[in-house]
């Protein structure tokens, strides 16, 4: 092989090597920006199915709404960038279409998705009281919380009621095994005090499927009733929800007996 041919071969090999490096870099960049690089149990959609929507961060909830990221950022990174650029959820609520279109990773489809959700939230916030659910009996509260039948981990929710027994909100206040020595009464009443709730209904699920109350459930309920009297926020009921049905502790008349 003459020197000219050797030079051409050397250039050719160098080009192939450079191209292979480019492909390798691009591959690893795509892997690092894909949700597939995140363990399945840490992905927003899987976490929601496992723990419920209340366990997710704001960025994770937005990521589920957006569904996909970009070639340079996975959807969770895009969601975090949105919150950073908008200054949090409150800023996102006030962002205009033009504001959102300036954020990297957002095109027309994603912007319209975000704006539609924001508009629905704004309409709910100004919804007149007559359109909020009225809780007159335990069955009404169960229908409101029936999705708890399918949660795979124990959740505690509090139904916040106004003076007309209409629902203000139903926040999740605890995730984990119910134990009165661990679950502080202050945690359960914090939202009620903040939202100026006139009364509350406590609810939690039994992932085993059996809604039969345990001695710990009765003890916790008695503690809450006593605290509610001191705070002037009465506890109207405690629902235990399982896949096979539900129980009202007030209907059983044990923890609520005077």
- What does the mean pLDDT of the chain come to? 82
- pTM for the structure as a whole: 0.54
Higher pLDDT residue, 179 or 69? 69
**pLDDT tens across 53-63, in order?**
878 899 999 99
Reported as half-sphere exposure (CB side, CA atoms, 13 A), residue 87 has a value of: 6
CA dist 141 and 196 (Å) reads: 19
Q: Choose one of 108, 125, 142: the last residue of a domain.
A: 125
Q: Is the pLDDT of residue 101 over 50?
A: yes
**pLDDT tens across 143-173, in order?**
999 888 888 888 999 999 999 999 999 988 8
**Given this model, what pLDDT does residue 182 score?**
60
Region of residue 183 (phi > 0: left; psi between -120 and 50: alpha; otherwise: beta): beta
User: 147 and 112, same structural domain?
Assistant: no
SS3 state of residue 95:
coil
Domain range spanning residue 93?
35-125
User: Residue 176: which pLDDT band, with cuts at 50, 70 and 90?
Assistant: confident
**Residues 6+ away with beta carbon under 8 Å from 242:** 149, 205, 206, 208, 209, 210, 211
**pLDDT tens across 199-219, in order?**
999 999 998 889 999 888 898
User: 192 and 147, same structural domain?
Assistant: yes
Reported as half-sphere exposure (CB side, CA atoms, 13 A), residue 123 has a value of: 7
Q: Is the pLDDT of residue 116 over 80?
A: yes
Please list, residue by residue across 18-39, b when 16 or more beta carbons sit within 10 angstroms of its beta carbon and e when fewer do: eeeeeeeeeeeeeeebebeeee
User: 236 and 177, same structural domain?
Assistant: yes
User: 196 and 236, same structural domain?
Assistant: yes
């Amino acid at each position: 092989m003459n020197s000219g041919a050797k030079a051409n071969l050397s250039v050719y090999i160098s080009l192939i090597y450079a191209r292979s490096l480019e492909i390798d870099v691009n591959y690893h960049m795509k892997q690092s920006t894909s949700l597939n690089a995140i363990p399945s149990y840490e992905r927003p959609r899987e976490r929601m199915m496992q723990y419920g929507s209340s366990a997710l961060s704001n960025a994770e909830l937005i990521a589920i709404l957006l569904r996909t990221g970009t070639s340079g950022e996975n959807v969770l990174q895009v969601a975090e960038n949105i919150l950073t650029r908008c200054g949090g959820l409150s800023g996102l609520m006030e962002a205009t279409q033009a504001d959102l279109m300036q954020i990297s990773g957002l095109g027309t489809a994603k912007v319209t998705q975000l704006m539609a959700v924001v508009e629905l939230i704004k309409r709910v916030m100004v919804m007149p009281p007559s359109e909020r659910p009225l809780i007159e009996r335990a069955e009404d509260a169960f229908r409101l919380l029936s999705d708890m039948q399918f949660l795979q981990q124990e959740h505690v929710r509090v139904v916040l009621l106004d003076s007309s027994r209409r629902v203000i909100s139903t926040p999740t206040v605890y995730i984990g095994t119910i134990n009165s020595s661990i679950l502080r009464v202050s945690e359960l009443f914090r939202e009620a005090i903040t939202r100026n709730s006139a009364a509350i209904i406590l609810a939690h699920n039994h992932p085993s499927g059996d809604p039969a109350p345990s001695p710990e459930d009765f003890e916790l309920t008695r503690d809450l009733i006593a605290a509610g009297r001191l705070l002037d926020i009465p506890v109207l009921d405690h629902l235990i929800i399982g896949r096979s049905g539900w129980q009202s502790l007030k209907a059983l008349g044990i923890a609520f007996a005077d």
